[in-house]
Structure 1
Amino acid sequence: MTAPDPVRAGRALGGAAAAILVLEGIAVLFVPRGIAQTEEGLGAVRLTILLVLALLLILASGIQRRERGLVIGTALQVPLLATGLMNSAMWFVAGAFVLIWLYLLQVRKELIGSPFGPVPVTRPTDDGDAGAAG
C-alpha cells in the first residue's frame, strides 16, 4: 500500500521523526540526574557524553527533511540504547524510543515504498488542455 500523496506522507513522517528525536534528546538530559545518585557518581566524561548525545539528537531532528536525515536518526538510536549502560532505567526508556523509531520506519516503508529512500515525486498528468490552446 502506498500513500495517494507520497510527498505529503513523507513530510508528515519527517515531522514525526523530528519530534521523536527531540523527545529522545530531552530524555537523555534526564540521565545525569539518575547517575548522580549512584555510587559511581556523575563524572565529567559521562556528563560530556550525555550532553553531546542530547545535542546530536536535537540537531538531527532539524535535518529530517533531507534524505540522509533518517539514516542519521537511525544511527543515533544505537548510542541512545547504549545509555542503558550508564543508567539501567534507560534500557526501558531508550528501548521504547527505538521501538517507536522502528515502527515509524515500517510505516514509512508501507506508505512511501522505502524506509530510507527519497520520496517519489509524482507529476500531475496532462488533461489535454495544453493541446486545445494551440
Structure 2
Amino acid sequence: MQKTLVVKALSLKGENYVNNEEVMTSFYRETIKKRNKNASLSEAVLKIHKQPYVSSRPDAIKLIKARKNTDYSRLDTLALKLQGGPFSTLHTDIIKYPKYIFNAEDIEDYTFSFDQSTQINNKLVFVVSFKQKETT
C-alpha cells in the first residue's frame, strides 16, 4: 500500500505540483568540522530557477555571492573534494528527479512503511519512509 501511494504521487506530479517556472532566492552552507571546529566553511546566496515539474528541463542555479574559508592545518593529511555543492541538493527533489531513486526498475529495491502522520496547513499528510533492501 505504501509503495502504491509513492508511485501514485509520482504519477500525479503534473496535478499536485507547480507547473510554472519559479525563481527563488536561497542560502547554502557547507561545513567540514573537526572536533566541533570548522575546518572548512562555504556559504553562498543563490537564485534558483525551478522548472515546472512536468518539464524535462533541468533546474538552474545562479550564484549571487559566495565565500569560502578553509584551514588545511585542521584537516588530516588527506584532503579531497567531493562532487556536490548547491546543485546536488536540487536532486533530492524526488518528484522532479525520480530517476535518481525511484525509477521503474529500482523501486522494487526498497521497503516502504508509514511513519507518524503530520499536518501542513491543517491538512493531514501521510509520511512514507523507505529503506533499501539488504539484498540490493
Structure with larger RCO (C-alpha < 8 A, sep 6+): 1
Higher radius of gyration, 1 or 2: 1
Which has a greater percent of helix? Answer: 1
Which has a greater percent of strand? Answer: 2
